[in-house]
């Protein structure tokens, strides 16, 4: 399986008109610079201002699986898929893709956010890291002074209530 990192995806764009002509030019585009398909297509049209209705061609791409792009097409919900996959860490993405294909999900047409949430419900989301306290906080004896007094008071209280010596 090829490496999938839609947040760092790159696409080389040209048009069919330019490919048919003598002068060939294309543009490399970082997909992280765009938030949705409309913004991306608007940026593409700015690259080719002389063409009224350009037929975009995607000649190269990196970090994008082939089921999301080919020379004539890019998945219409590419950006929704990218945003949904950001909820997974890089180790989970490959397993998620295999899982979704095995159970008959189609990430190109199904809701990618719901798929990721369903996957996380089954396999669990990665737990956030617990904040570790600096060591110098434990050097302060006054922090735990009251707690130790309460513990010794509890033993005395238990002896009085239960009339027994609990150690």
The reported pLDDT for the residue numbered 72 is 95
The reported pLDDT for the residue numbered 103 is 92
Q: How many whole angstroms from its chain centre is CA 92? A: 10
What are the φ and ψ backbone dihedral angles of 54, each rounded to 5 degrees? -70, 145
133 sits in the region (left: phi over 0; alpha: psi -120 to 50; else beta) called beta
pLDDT in tens, 63-90: 998 889 999 999 999 999 999 999 998 8
The reported pLDDT for the residue numbered 75 is 95
pLDDT range class, residue 164, cuts 50, 70, 90: low
pLDDT range class, residue 155, cuts 50, 70, 90: low
The reported pLDDT for the residue numbered 22 is 80
H or E segment at 93? helix 90-102
pLDDT range class, residue 132, cuts 50, 70, 90: low
pLDDT range class, residue 20, cuts 50, 70, 90: very high
Residue 4's contacts (CB-CB under 8 Å, 6 or more residues apart) are 63, 64, 65, 85, 93, 94, 97
Neighbours of 15 (CB within 10 A): 21
Instruction: State if pTM tops 0.95.
Output: no
Residue 23's contacts (CB-CB under 8 Å, 6 or more residues apart) are none
């Amino acid at each position: 399986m090829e490496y999938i990192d839609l947040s760092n995806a790159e696409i080389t764009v040209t048009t069919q008109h330019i490919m048919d002509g003598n002068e060939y030019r294309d543009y490399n585009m970082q997909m992280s610079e765009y938030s949705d398909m409309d913004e991306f297509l608007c940026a593409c049209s700015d690259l080719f201002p002389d063409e009224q209705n350009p037929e975009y061609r995607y000649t190269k791409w990196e970090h994008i699986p082939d089921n999301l792009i080919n020379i004539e097409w890019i998945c219409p919900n590419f950006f929704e898929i990218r945003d949904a996959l950001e909820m997974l860490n890089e180790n989970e993405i490959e397993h998620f893709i295999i899982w979704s294909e095995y159970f008959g999900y189609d990430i190109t047409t199904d809701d990618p956010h719901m798929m990721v949430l369903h996957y996380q419900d089954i396999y669990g989301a990665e737990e956030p890291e617990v904040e570790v306290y600096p060591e110098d906080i434990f050097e302060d004896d006054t922090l735990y002074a009251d707690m130790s007094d309460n513990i010794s008071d509890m033993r005395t209280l238990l002896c009085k209530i239960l009339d027994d010596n609990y150690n």
